[in-house]
């Protein structure tokens, strides 16, 4: 593949979790184009698995969709150098009020590769220990627990649309299936 060359990156707006930029790109054919780019520090997410196999989920309002969603616990990295595993542990306790001494990496995903560099590292947490929920001041979260089968059904029925949650649950289902063989 021929090389694209970024000639300039201009920050249009700085946000609390993203920066909106416009990149001036020289294509392999020599054309100069402007592309939008969303710069994101990254995030971590966690699948909290109870001893009975049920998975804790969080129900919360999402402004972009103007409704509540059902998701795995997740949150942005404080900065680009934060250890994603530490961030997953922080979100586990903050959002559902549990800690774990067993966080295992499951997968990493890029949410929207056409215009955003966001990377989410997803972990599985078991051996959960009750702690206390410590929500951010703008968070209102309901914690619910579902079986893996219930979550897969909700994905197939279109009730769960969040991409990180879908990728995490389906990857976890595959992991569990391989372990049962």
Active site residues per annotation:
137
Look-up of token digits 């929207």: 112
Q: In sequence order, what E strands does 28-135 have?
A: 32-40, 43-48, 55-62, 67-71, 74-76, 98-110, 119-130
Q: Where would I find the H helices in the chain?
A: 84-96, 148-156, 163-180
> Would you say 58 and 95 are in contact if contact means Cβ atoms under 8 Å apart?
yes
Chain mean position to CA 97: 18
Q: How many CB atoms sit inside 10 A of residue 71's CB?
A: 22
């Amino acid at each position: 593949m021929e090389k694209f060359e970024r000639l300039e990156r201009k920050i249009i707006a700085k946000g609390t979790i993203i920066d909106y930029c416009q990149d001036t790109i020289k294509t392999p054919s020599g054309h100069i184009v402007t592309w939008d780019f969303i710069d994101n520090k990254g995030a971590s997410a966690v699948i909290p698995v109870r001893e009975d196999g049920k998975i804790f989920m969080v129900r919360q309002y999402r402004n972009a969709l103007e409704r509540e969603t059902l998701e795995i616990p997740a949150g942005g990295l404080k900065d680009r150098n934060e250890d994603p595993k530490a961030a997953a542990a922080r979100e586990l306790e903050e959002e559902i009020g549990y800690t774990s001494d067993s966080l295992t990496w499951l997968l990493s995903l890029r949410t929207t590769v056409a215009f955003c560099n966001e990377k989410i590292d997803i972990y599985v947490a078991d051996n959960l220990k009750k702690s206390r929920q410590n929500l951010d001041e703008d968070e209102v979260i309901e914690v619910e627990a579902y079986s893996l089968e219930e979550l897969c059904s909700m994905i197939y029925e279109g009730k769960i649309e969040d991409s990180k949650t879908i990728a995490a649950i389906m990857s976890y289902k595959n992991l569990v299936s391989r372990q049962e063989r």
